[in-house]
A and B are shown apart, each in its own frame.
Chain A
Amino acid sequence: ELKVEQNPLFLSMQEGKNYTIYCNYSTTSDRLYWYRQDPGKSLESLFVLLSNGAVKQEGRLMASLDTKARLSTLHITAAVHDLSATYFCAVDLTNKLVFGAGTILRVKS
């Protein structure tokens, strides 16, 4: 059974600081997704990582994938308040996604 572990589960950040969210998974997969969820809303797709060594950046967020280590990271650069949300990684297992528990990110002024 595939297990997807995210950490930390809760992250309180100061504006302007950098931090990284980690996503470890237990079974081989070549496709991993990062999503953002705002309170009361559905998921917003952030990144699709399709191969080992993939790195994608959008604004202050950068995601990477190491399939050999079964690890993906979501790096936040110079956090701003608008980034406050819950972030999920999800691993593609054949025909379904298995989600991590989510990381609640709060950016404080």
Chain B
Amino acid sequence: GAVVSQHPSWVICKSGTSVKIECRSLDFQATTMFWYRQFPKQSLMLMATSNEGSKATYEQGVEKDKFLINHASLTLSTLTVTSAHPEDSSFYICSEKGFRLAGGPGGEQFFGPGTRLTVL
């Protein structure tokens, strides 16, 4: 599968601060990127979908002013959690959908390794 990296892999921050998570595709042109959140012992919940160069589309119940998503290029998307609070502590996973740089069929999503956010 395609290689997707996330940085940082874990972060601990104080309440009220902002945290930026990066998601990069290393061998893949990600036309669409997805951000998911996973609370302990729960499934993945889609937060937002973004297309390169366009504004993100947020799922119902997700505050767009709190979770800022930027998808400025085909290889990089960022999620910024603004004014983080303890209830934002979660495992954040990005995924990408698009086409391999080497060619071949597209359409499948490839997931990053995740970022564990702990807000104190």
Contacts and interface: CB of A to CB of B under 8 A. Distances in A.
Interface of A: 31, 33, 35, 40-43, 45, 48, 88, 95-102
Q: How large is the interface on B (under 10, 10 to 19, 20 to 34, 35 or more residues)?
A: 20 to 34
Main secondary structure of the interface of A (DSSP, over half): strand
Contacts of A41: 113-114
A88 B108 contact: no
**Residue picked from A40, A41, A96, A98, most chain B C-beta under 10 Å:** A96
Interface stretch (B43-51, B62-70, B76-84): B43-51
B44 A99 contact: yes
Contacts of A45: 1, 108, 110-111
8 contacts: A33-B108, A43-B111, A45-B108, A96-B46, A98-B46, A99-B43, A100-B43, A101-B42
B32 interface: yes
